[in-house]
Amino acid sequence: MLIVMTVGATPQQVERVIERVSALGLKAHPIPGAQRVVIGITGNQGAVEPALFENLPGVLEVIPVSHPYKLVSREAKPESSIVMVGGVPVGGDNFAVFAGPCSVETPEQTLTIARHVRASGAQILRGGAFKPRTSPYTFQGLGEPGLAILRDVGHEVQMPIVSEALDEGSLDLVAEYCDMIQIGARNMQNYSLLRTVGRLRKPVLLKRGMGATVDELLMAAEYVLAEGNYQVVLCERGIRTFADHTRNTLDLAAVVAVQRLSHLPIIVDPSHGTGKRHKVVPLARAAVAVGADGLMIEVHHEPSQALSDASQAILPGELSELIQQLPQLLPLTGRHMAQPLRLSA
Ligand code: PEP
Ligand code: MN
């Protein structure tokens, strides 16, 4: 249920509603909007009686929520959310490019790629240190030393960093070293991990599971918001279908579907979405035209030497060329490149 306050509702009136929610043993989530405050209620098993709130001062209306998710919905917050990632805004009109290697391999490899990524105009540096690999015999990531490399390189090139947490153990480390925590496709329905990440106050990049519907993606995000962490960016990264001309089927319609249902930003990862270098840039352009809030792209200066996802890494020059095309595409959906961090001496 959502309780919509009037435009002029006072903080005391909001507080009174919250007290009544708490008195019922439920949890109140005040969501400040541009116009007014909406209070989401979670923790109820069945329907909550609207009459309990309808007559409180400052309450405009009580809306029973038709979806199984509440806090992520546009009903709760009509205007699009902007998530700040280490000083870079993602969402609203701000388009952000997350780019970097699939895996952090060495300090030199990470720095080389990061310098290219920074010079190309991307705003956020990615790099995996805890890798979810299909085979237990392939490179599993450098672990904590990899995070330390990514952090140092992030400082060097002055970019915020994002890396994946695989489980509760790696989550503490990723939260300590990084500006944003990535929850990968394979963990999208790891509800205990989602709850734990929801108790942190760090931005989260939540990737769509390869077999997940849009509703399931939104419910996974709801777990994070329900714990009080509202800083979630969603990511479409392709789903499993019968098609075998690509690694996954990049579902760009999901972007439009999510944006209708939710206020959360959604970016697109055409690297994992296609798995093939030659398909990454065309699908990235399509994602921009569809109205995505950003891109996540894997880059390597020597793709043939990459320790993971070698066949989908694009070259630094290809990333630059793509980003140079963005000013032509972004006006189509009323977006502009998010301001990168300003370089200081
Ligand atoms: C990644 O971004 O490094 C990754 C493993 O992606 P996904 O979870 O989408 O497979
Ligand atoms: Mn990868």
- Tell me the CA–centroid distance for residue 39 and ligand 1, in Å: 34
Domain assignment present for 76: no
Domain assignment present for 342: no
Closest-CA residue to 144 (of 178, 173, 180): 173
| Amino acid identity at 267 | I
- Pick the residue whose CA is nearest to atom 10 on ligand 1: 185
Q: What is the pTM for the complete model shown?
A: 0.93
Q: What is the DSSP letter of 301?
A: S
Same domain, 54 and 90: no
- Tell me the CA–centroid distance for residue 103 and ligand 2, in Å: 7
Domain assignment present for 13: yes
**For the segment 268-318, what is each residue's pLDDT rounded down to a tens digit?**
999 999 999 999 999 999 999 999 999 999 999 999 999 999 999 999 999
Same domain, 86 and 16: no
* pLDDT cut 90: percent of the chain above it: 91
Same domain, 59 and 181: no
Four-residue CA torsion sign, 289, 311, 214, 231: negative
Helix (H) and strand (E) counts in the chain: 11, 15
Band the pLDDT of 342: cuts 50, 70, 90.
Answer: confident
Residue 289 sits in a domain whose CATH number is 3.20.20.70
Domains identified in the chain, total number: 2
- Tell me the CA–centroid distance for residue 50 and ligand 1, in Å: 42
- Pick the residue whose CA is nearest to atom 3 on ligand 1: 102
Domain assignment present for 209: yes
Same domain, 38 and 87: no
Same domain, 200 and 95: yes
Q: Using an 8 Å Cβ cutoff, are 231 and 83 in contact? A: yes
**For the segment 99-142, what is each residue's pLDDT rounded down to a tens digit?**
999 999 999 999 999 999 999 999 999 999 999 999 999 999 99
What CA–CA distance (Å, rounded) separates 89 from 74? 20
Same domain, 208 and 256: yes
**In this structure, which ligand is nearest to the CA of 273?**
1
- From 181, 182, 280, mutation site for ligand 1 pocket: most ligand atoms within 8 A of C-beta: 182
Closest-CA residue to 120 (of 340, 342, 270, 345): 340
Q: Using an 8 Å Cβ cutoff, are 296 and 162 in contact? A: no
Query: What is the extent of the structural domain holding 24?
Result: 2-63
- From 272, 280, 297, 307, mutation site for ligand 1 pocket: most ligand atoms within 8 A of C-beta: 272
Same domain, 98 and 179: yes
Same domain, 166 and 34: no
If you average pLDDT over every residue of the chain, what do you get?
Answer: 96
Domain assignment present for 77: no
Residue where one domain finishes, among candidates 36, 63, 90: 63
* pLDDT cut 70: percent of the chain above it: 99
- Tell me the CA–centroid distance for residue 177 and ligand 2, in Å: 20
- Tell me the CA–centroid distance for residue 308 and ligand 2, in Å: 6
* pLDDT value at 44 more than 90: no
> Taking CB atoms and a 6 Å cutoff, what residues make up the pocket around ligand 1?
102, 128, 132, 164, 184-186, 207, 237, 269, 272
Angle ∠(26,28,29) on CA atoms, nearest 5: 145
Same domain, 203 and 263: yes
pLDDT of the residue at 71:
94
* pLDDT value at 46 more than 90: no
**For the segment 223-259, what is each residue's pLDDT rounded down to a tens digit?**
999 999 999 999 999 999 999 999 999 999 999 999 9
